Amino acid sequence: MGSLRAGYALAVFLLSALVVIPYQSVALRFKTFGYKNIPKRYQHFLSRVFGIRVTMIGKPVQDRGVLMVANHTSYLDIIALGGITRVSFVAKSEVASWPLFGTFARLQRTVFVERERRSKTGESRDQLRQRLAEGDALVLFPEGTSNDGNRVLPFKSALMGAAEAQVGTDANGKPIYVPVQPVSITYVGLHGIPMGRENRPLYAWYGDMELVDHLWEGLATGPVDVVIQFHDPVTVDQVGGRKNLARIVEEQIRQGQALALAGLAGRKKPESLPAQPPAAHAAE
C-alpha cells in the first residue's frame, strides 16, 4: 500500500505540473489570471495529494508587505506553508538550477540570494526590501539550512536587514517599518499518532539525504501532521535593531516548536517544559 500511495502521489504531481507550469508562466508573464494566488492553490492541492495535514495557529499577515521568518526542516515546508498563505520564498541561488523544483521556485516569484558571498548580501537585501515595499509576503529561513526537526538552529541575521526597510510614514511623519512575523513549523504526527524523534527523519530533509529517495519514503510511509504557528508580528524599531530582532524572533520560533513537539501547540510555555539550550548566533 505504501508504494502504491507514493506512486499515485508522484504521478499526480508530475501530471498536474504539465498543466500548472505553462499556465502560471503565462499568468506571471502578463501579470494576470491571479498569478499571485495560483501557487497557493496548487500547493494546497499538493498538500492533499501528498498527505500533508496542516493545523494552523494564529493569523498570517496578508494585507501588506511582510517578512515571515521560519525554521526550516524540509522541502515539505514550502508546500505546507505555501498551501495556506499567499507567499514567495527566499532561497539560495543554486535552487534556481534544480530540475523542476527550480522552475516551481521561479514561478512562485522566489527571491534567489547568494548567501555564501558576503559581497552580494547588500544586493540581496535590496531585492528583499523592494519586494516588501511592493506589498509581497516573503518567507525567509534564517538558519541557512534545514535540520532534523527536533530543534531550531542559530539564526544568521544578515538578510534580516530587510526588516529595516521603511514602507512609509504615519500622520506624524514617523517611519513605518515592514512587519516581521515569526512562524514555527513543526512535524508532530504520523497517521494521526504523535510522531517520535525516530520517525521525524522520514520527513525532515537534511545532511546528505537524496531528495528523490527521501520523498518516496515519506510518501510511502503515510500522512504527516504539521503544526504551523503564526506569531504576532514585530517591527525593528520596537525592539531596538536588527540583531535584537533576530534574537527575539528566534526565541519565539524555538518556543513555538518546543511546545508543538510537547503536544502543547499554541499555549504559553509551562514551567515544566524543558527549554532548548541557547545557541550562539551565527556570524553575520
Q: Is residue 169 part of a domain?
A: yes
CA distance 106 to 92: 12
Write out the residue range of the structural domain in which residue 174 sits. Answer: 2-261
Residue among 103, 101, 125, 104 at smallest CA distance from 113: 125
Q: Is residue 273 part of a domain?
A: no
Q: Is residue 102 part of a domain?
A: yes
What pLDDT, on a 0 to 100 scale, did the predictor assign at position 189?
A: 96
CATH number where 69 lies: 3.40.1130
Q: Which three cell numbers stand for residue 23?
A: 499556465
Cα 117 to chain center, whole Å? Answer: 22
Q: List % helix, strand, coil for the chain (3-state, nearest 5).
A: 45, 20, 40
Is the distance from CB of 179 to CB of 235 less than 8 angstroms?
A: yes
Q: What angle do CA 257, 77, 32 make, to 5 degrees?
A: 135
Residue among 108, 38, 112 at smallest CA distance from 78: 108
CA distance 69 to 77: 12
Residue among 187, 127, 111, 125 at smallest CA distance from 156: 125
Q: Is residue 231 part of a domain?
A: yes
Q: Is residue 188 part of a domain?
A: yes
Tens of pLDDT, residue by residue, the chain (284 residues): 789 999 999 999 999 999 999 999 999 999 998 999 999 999 999 999 999 999 999 999 999 999 999 999 999 999 999 999 999 999 988 899 988 899 999 999 999 988 666 656 667 778 888 899 899 999 999 998 899 999 999 998 777 888 887 888 888 888 889 999 999 999 999 999 999 888 999 999 998 899 999 999 999 998 999 999 999 999 999 998 888 999 999 999 999 999 999 999 987 765 544 445 445 555 45
CA distance 202 to 271: 31
Q: Is residue 194 part of a domain?
A: yes
Q: Is residue 190 part of a domain?
A: yes
Task: Write the secondary structure of 76-120 as one string of H (helix), E (strand) and C (coil).
Answer: HHHHHHHCCCCCEEEEEHHHHHCCCHHHHHHHCCCEEECCCCHHH
Q: Is residue 278 part of a domain?
A: no
Question: What pTM was estimated for this model as a whole?
Answer: 0.89
Total number of domains in the chain: 1
Is the distance from CB of 214 to CB of 205 less than 8 angstroms?
A: yes
Is the distance from CB of 281 to CB of 157 less than 8 angstroms?
A: yes
Could you give the dihedral angle defined by the CA atoms of residues 209, 128, 61 and 165, in that order, rounded to the nearest 10 degrees? 140
Residue among 235, 230, 233, 197 at smallest CA distance from 54: 230
